[in-house]
Structure 1
């Protein structure tokens, strides 16, 4: 579980942009049958703190992606990796 791919997201957001970004990440990962653990930061402030620590950004907003404690990137980096067909490298698979 330590090196499991994790997607930090929030189930409570007034931002339509954040919701769309999270949905797109989940759709792509599900479509490619890539296993991941969704971590809802709105349910536990410790998860939010962990997300920000891994991202190295005290104000990081979801969605953020990491593999274990290794930061992969945010939505923009994810989208770029998909466009460049480098998703597996980005996700460190």
Structure 2
């Protein structure tokens, strides 16, 4: 399985852009391979993300390991702060 991050590359929200960068930086710093899936390139990707989560209103960034949902940006940061990143990403 691989870590997949659903992101939106086209966003006027500085907060969303910052969240995307923070996730990428943490994963790179921990040598965790990941795939970015940009929902702006194809609207079916946004629907795919929402369907996997079971939330028709979800917005990126959203984090998965393969098709297994891991969580939101906030839960990602909480896992990093608590030292449970690998468990959060379902890599342990």
Q: In which range does the TM-score fall when normalised by the shorter chain?
A: over 0.9
What is the root-mean-square deviation of aligned Cα atoms in Å?
Answer: 0.7
Which residue number corresponds to residue 34 of structure 1?
Answer: 32
- Cα deviation, 1:9-39, whole Å, max 9, x if unaligned, reads 0110011111111110000001111001100
The CA deviation at 1:47 is: 0.9
**TM-score for the superposition, normalised by structure 1:** 0.94
3-state DSSP class of the match of 1:48? helix
Q: How many residues are aligned here?
A: 91
Give runs of ≥4 in structure 1 deviating > 4 Å.
none
Rounded Cα–Cα distance in structure 2 between residues aligned with 1:23 and 1:45: 22
Which residue number corresponds to residue 70 of structure 1?
Answer: 68
